[in-house]
Amino acid sequence: MQGGKAVKKRINQTLIGIMLVAGILAATASLAQEAKVAVLNPRGALPLIRLVPMAPRLDTLDGKTVYLIAASFAVPLMPELQKVMAEKYPKTTWVLKNKPGSYFDDDPALWAEAKEKSSAVIMGVGH
Amino acid sequence: MGLPCSPVVTQRFLDVARTITYKKGMPNQRIIYVPHPVSGRPAEVVRNHLLGNDPVTGKPILDELIAALTKPLNAEEKKTGFVTRPARPRLLDPDTPTNLQRMMSKNGWTDGLPIVLPTEERVAAMLKGTSHGRDEIVGTMRPSPPHEAWEYTVEMVAANAVMAGAQPEHFPVILALASTGVTSLFSSTTSFARMVVVSGPIREEIKMNGGIGALGPFNEANAVIGRAWTLISKNLGGAIAGETYMGGQGNNLNYNNVCIPENEEALPAGWKPLHVQKGFKPGESVVSTFTGWSLINHAGRAARDKEAFKQLLVSLSASGMGMGGSQAMILLDPLVARDLRESFDTKEKFSAWLIQNPGAPTGSPGFGSAIEILVVGGEANPCLTIGDFTYVSSASIDKWR
């Protein structure tokens, strides 16, 4: 009887010991988790974007002149487009214009010419 | 123009086209796409593309072109006003360092390498490297002319300098670089590289290395300043791969942008330092930027025979390097520079002699002078490095102390 009580006591002590160790391990693991930090936003400030309303569309292209403007790397895209459009839509005048310089470069003279002499523009940017 | 207009773009540039039209205030632009590539393709191939379908919408290209110019505008297309953009918080949501590293890398805010997190404490320490206030506007930067420019303050540059691993003593150089507005990650499909050269007393102050291993991974200042420029170009200059950066293969030089000091102490008599050539005083500290694509290390005959330089330059031009061979830069080890000094008592005379030769680079419009000469290296071997870089700009570092 006494031997049984001693065994029981030893088992209880062992269980308590295991629970203590488990508790310590859990607490340690919790402490080892990274703490959160705040950092500054490295990104720049985005500018405002003002909406540019699109120009009204044409009722028809018949009888109109359309400029086909070829920017950098748009050969042979735009020359071929001129041929195809002239074949398929012969009632429209398709004028091919090469934009000098790179597609980065503004060309106010070309835009002014397009506005004066055409009713619409298709601009090809190649690659 | 006030005319109905439709752009035709190759399919590969779908994201770029949408991004640019959105940021230009035309989010509903009627863009027509054709298969990619078209440049240099046989005319018959391109014709067949045009007679086929738009690879993005699946609709006949010709029908789309006509509709783009004639179909009446809808309500969205007629809108005016401003696009609502997300607010920019000064601080990011708090998180663990591990998660912040992953988030920043995943978002494309790093160069793929671990960064130093820009905490308030670290940024405050960085700001001690300049007399300028944290909210002062440093400048704006864009990946290339069609793209929008982002604006940034001293504090924003500081955050990126911290991320790069810089110390406060490096900060005036980084601010000077940021003030140029020049991106290190230009949009072009040709995969540009950049170079940054530091001149003047600050080189010694911050212990930059212009000697042995100058172009290599052997010096903190060289490394972090160059790296900071890349991070600034991404986070403050809007370079986003696939959207605003389209370098087809990319360029490995972008990691550090060949950040070096000129070895001014080793310049032969009469050979001026770079910043003096660009109009600054010898005692000023200056940062200069260059643009190009490639560098070639050359330890061959040209290093010992000035006539061989001619052949080297002509070969470079003939290869098509650098805008069809129009520009070049030569980094001379001091041993080579001293030999050349026997024939040329200034850098300019050497450069002019090189340009005289048929087939040598002669510069191209908008890209500055034909051949830049710098002295850098530690006299271990009479080598030189030659590349297709040309000068872009210089900025005072002293202004940002």
Residue B283 lies in a domain: yes
In the structure, what pLDDT confidence band is assigned to residue A104 with cuts at 50, 70 and 90?
confident
> What H or E segment, with its residue span, contains residue B151?
strand B150-153
- Domain annotation covers residue A36: no
Among B176, B376, B340, CA closest to B264: B376
Give the strand pairing for B371-375 and B328-332: parallel
Give me the residue label for tokens 């009632």: A91
What pLDDT is recorded for position B302? 62
CB contact under 8 A, A127 and B26: no
pLDDT at B2: 86
At residue B39, the pLDDT reads: 86
Within 8 A of A125 by CB-CB distance, chain B residues are 7-10, 13
A20 and A71 in a single domain? The answer is no
**ipTM of this complex:** 0.88
Digit-coded pLDDT (tens) for B363-378: 655 555 568 999 999 9
DSSP H helical ranges for B165-305: 171-179, 202-205, 220-235, 274-277
* Span B326-380, pLDDT tens digits: 678 999 999 999 999 999 999 999 988 888 877 777 665 555 556 899 999 999 9
Q: Are B141 and B232 in contact (CB under 8 A)?
A: yes
Mean pLDDT over B111-121 rounds to: 98
Residues making up chain A, counted from first to last:
127
- What is the structure's pLDDT at A23? 64
Return the pLDDT at B363.
63
Residue A35 inside a domain? The answer is no
Q: Could you tell me if A25 and A70 lie in one domain?
A: no
**pLDDT tens-digit readout, B127-137:** 999 999 999 99
Question: Is the pLDDT reported for residue A21 higher than 60?
Answer: yes
Contact with chain B for residue A41, Cβ under 8 A: yes
A56 inside domain: no
State which residues form the domain around B23.
8-78
- What's the whole-number mean pLDDT along residues A51-65? 94
Choose the final residue of a domain: B78, B110, B135. Answer: B78
Residues B107, B253: one domain?
A: yes
A48 domain residue, yes or no: no
> The pTM is what?
0.85
H or E stretch at B288: strand B286-292
Q: Is A110 in a helix, a strand, or coil?
A: helix
Lowest mean pLDDT among A34-38, B35-39, B106-110, B170-174: B35-39
Q: What is the number of H-type helices and E-type strands within chain B? A: 15, 13
Percent of chain A with pLDDT over 70: 88
pLDDT at position B202 over 80: yes
| The total number of structural domains that make up chain B | 2
Of these ranges, B11-20, B128-137, B295-304, the one predicted with the greatest mean pLDDT is B128-137
Contacts across the A-B interface (CB distance below 8 Å): 232
Which of the four pLDDT bands, split at 50, 70 and 90, describes residue B301? low
Q: For B58, list phi and psi in degrees, rounded to 5.
A: 85, 0
With an 8 Å Cβ cutoff, are B81 and A50 in contact?
Answer: yes
In this prediction, residue A91 carries a pLDDT of 97
Range of the domain at A12: 1-30
Mark yes or no for CB contact B237/A44 under 8 Å: yes
Question: Given a cut of 80, is residue B325 above it in pLDDT?
Answer: no
One domain for residues B179 and B37: no
